[in-house]
Amino acid sequence: MKKYLIILLTAFISTTQAQTLNQILNSANSIINASSLSNTDIVSGLKEALTLGSKKATEQSSKMDGFYKNPLIKIPYPAETKSMMSTLNSLGMSKQVKDFEKQLNRAAEDAAKKAAPIFIDAVKKLTINDGLTILKGKDDEATQFLKKNTTANLTSEFSPVIAASLKKVKITKYWNPLFTKYNKLPMVKKVNPDLEAYVTQKAIEGLFKLVAQEELKIRKDPAARITDILQKVFGAKQ
């Protein structure tokens, strides 16, 4: 029995030592790989990741139902109209409420088509310092870079598109009857929010949610690193 226990203990120690050694070797390899990255590699890899992520986000959001049927980014009716919508639903206007919400999302889907060139322009301006910050940063660091450098331009480009889109889908056909009927009810707080500003803000927020989702895939999932430079940069970071 004593001999048997000694054999088991020896095997356990050997296994533990092997596991510890493997961990040390993996850590060492990561450090060596990361240190072998040149500044050019880092910038190229981050530009590739940003381009790929923003392209996918734009494609997903700009297609039919890209916003409306995606729970992550679907635009609900404005928060300040919640009581109004609840009241109108109870009055048998649920179809009108649903149609109104759908048209808000249609406008966002139209606007998202304008995002790609804005993202590409921002990616071109990425510096070595930006690249190092993004590579060493949080899981959404690249998304935050894009947000910082594109939000103003996205707002400028999205606003007129959304205004035209809301007009195209005749949003007043859905909105005016809703808020007019509601505002005529006694003892209610009158509502009439700025729909263009609201949809613009929500469309941009939704787009960045998708970009962040794509960034996380590239950082965490080797299968998402579909080019050599992505594998080199993000593989070395592990």
Q: What DSSP state is assigned to residue 75?
A: P
Q: Residue 230: count other Cβ atoms within 10 Å of its Cβ.
A: 19
Say if residues 74 and 105 touch (Cβ distance below 8 Å): yes
In one-letter notation, the amino acid at residue 71 is P
The per-residue pLDDT for range 41-54, each reduced to its tens digit, is: 999 999 999 999 99
Distance between CA 87 and CA 103 in Å, rounded? 20
Distance between CA 5 and CA 22 in Å, rounded? 26
Confidence of residue 144 (pLDDT cuts 50, 70, 90): very high
Confidence of residue 180 (pLDDT cuts 50, 70, 90): confident
What separation, in Å, do the N-terminal and C-terminal C-alpha atoms of the chain show? 45
Name the residue among 68, 72, 71, 70 with its Cα closest to residue 98: 68
Between 31-40, 114-123, 222-231, the lowest mean confidence (pLDDT) is in 31-40
Q: Average per-residue pLDDT in the chain?
A: 81
Confidence of residue 121 (pLDDT cuts 50, 70, 90): very high
72, burial (CB in 10 Å: exposed 0-12, middle 13-18, buried 19+): exposed
The per-residue pLDDT for range 4-61, each reduced to its tens digit, is: 434 433 444 344 444 443 443 343 334 334 446 888 999 999 999 999 999 999 999 9
Distance between CA 139 and CA 150 in Å, rounded? 19
The per-residue pLDDT for range 72-116, each reduced to its tens digit, is: 999 998 877 787 778 878 888 888 888 889 989 999 999 999 999
Distance between CA 3 and CA 209 in Å, rounded? 61
